[in-house]
Amino acid sequence: MYQAVLALMHTHLYRASALAVAAAELVIYLACVLVLARRIRLEFVAIVALVLAYLFLLSIFRNALEFKGFRDVMIPLLFFWLGRHVADIGYADRVLKLLVSVVLAFGFFELFFMDQFTRLLDIFSYYVSTGTVTISTNFIRDSALNLNGLRPEGIGRTILPSLLGSHRVSSVFLEPVSLGNFSVIVAAWGLSKPRTEYKQMLFFVLSAITLIALSDSRYGLIVVTSLIAMRMAVRGRFNVAAIILPFVSILVLVLIGLFFEGRVADNIMGRLFWTGNTLLSFDVEKMLGVQGFNLPYGDMGYAYLLSRWGVLLCIALWVALWMVKMPDERGERFRAYAALYISLILTVSGTSFFALKTAGILWFLVGSCTYWMAKKTPFSYGTDTPKFSGRELSYAN
C-alpha cells in the first residue's frame, strides 16, 4: 500500500518525487533487514554475498553501475527469507485475507465513487510528479486516473463491458496492471490449498476473479484459467515439471518472432512478437548482461531480465528456487503456480513483475510455504498435513 500512501500525501500534503518513492522502498527493505537480523542464517548471507559479487563483477565488465539490477534482485531475496522465517501458513492466510479485504473495499469505492476516489488520490498527477509518465501522454482529458485506468476507444473493455464500462479499477495499487497481477497471486495461493480447506480456497479464488473483472486484466483472466486447469490436471511430484516453463516460454517467443507475419499492434500477440523478435537480436554479450542493460525493455520481460542479470544469474536463481525443500504438497503446488505466473508475465512485461507492491507479496508467500522446514520440523512428503511427534507438537504449540 506504500504507493497509495505516497499518492495520498502527494495529493494533499506535498509534491512527491522519484526520490520519495526510492526512499519509501529503502525504508521497507531496511525493515525487512531489521526483522531478519535476529534470525540471520549463514545460507542467506552466503547467497546475498554471491549475488552481489556477481552483479559487481558485471558492473566492472559494463564499466557502469546499474542500480536497477541490484534493487530487483533484493526483492525476492529479502521477502522470501522474511516469509521463510517469520510466517507460517496460518499467518500468511490472515495477512493475505486482510490485504484482499482492503483491496476489494478500495476497489468498490473507486468503482462506485470515482469522483471522490480521484479527489482523494490524484493518481495521474502523482505519476507525472514521480517521472513515470509525462503530461503529453495523457490521452484521457480531465482524468486523474493512471494512463491505463480507462480503455481507449477502439480497444474497449474485455470483461463485462456493458456493466463496468471503460473504467479499469486499480484500487490501492494505483494501476490496473498491478491489481491484475495481485489477483493471480491470490488465486494461486487459494488453488494451492488442500481440498479439506475448500472454503478458504473458494474465498481466495472468487476474490481473485472479482478483482480480475474490476481491473479488466486480460493477463489475469488467461493465467487464472490456466491455474485452475493446472490444479485439476497436475498431481504430486508432477508439479516439479513447472521448472521448464520459462524455457518453454522463451522457445515459443522465439518461434513467434521468427514466423509471425500478422499486423503488429499493441495487443497480446503484438507484444509476444516484439519480445521474441528482440530475443533473436541478443548476442553473447547481451545474454551475459554485459551489453544492453541500459536499453528500454520494460514490456519485454525476458529481455529485461537477461540484460539486467545475465543468463548465468537467472539460471542460478531459478535452480536455487527449485532446490528449496517444500514440506507438503501445498508448497509444491504454490511454487509451481508461481512458476507459471512468472513465466507468463515475463512474456509481456518486465518491470511490473519487479514492482515491489506485488513482487514482495509473491516472494513472502513462497517463503511462508517453507516456514516449518526453516524450523527443521520434519514433514511427510505427499500429504497436506504435517506429522509431528509429541515433542515436536509441543514445540509447534
d(CA 100, CA 103): 5
Find out whether 384 and 377 touch, Cβ atoms under 8 Å: no
Find out whether 41 and 86 touch, Cβ atoms under 8 Å: no
Rg (CA), the chain: 21
Find out whether 269 and 260 touch, Cβ atoms under 8 Å: yes
Find out whether 151 and 160 touch, Cβ atoms under 8 Å: no
At 149 the pLDDT is 75
At 262 the pLDDT is 60
Question: What are the average pLDDT values for consecutive 10-residue runs of the chain, which has 397 residues?
Answer: 93 91 94 86 87 92 86 92 88 95 95 91 88 61 73 72 85 93 97 93 96 92 95 89 94 89 67 86 89 80 89 93 90 95 89 90 94 53 42 38
At 205 the pLDDT is 97
| Phi, psi of 264, deg, nearest 5 | -80, 125
Amino acid at 253: L
At 2 the pLDDT is 93
Domain ranges, ordered by start, for the chain: 43-86+238-375
At 378 the pLDDT is 41
Q: What is the pTM of this model?
A: 0.88
Find out whether 179 and 103 touch, Cβ atoms under 8 Å: yes
At 373 the pLDDT is 58
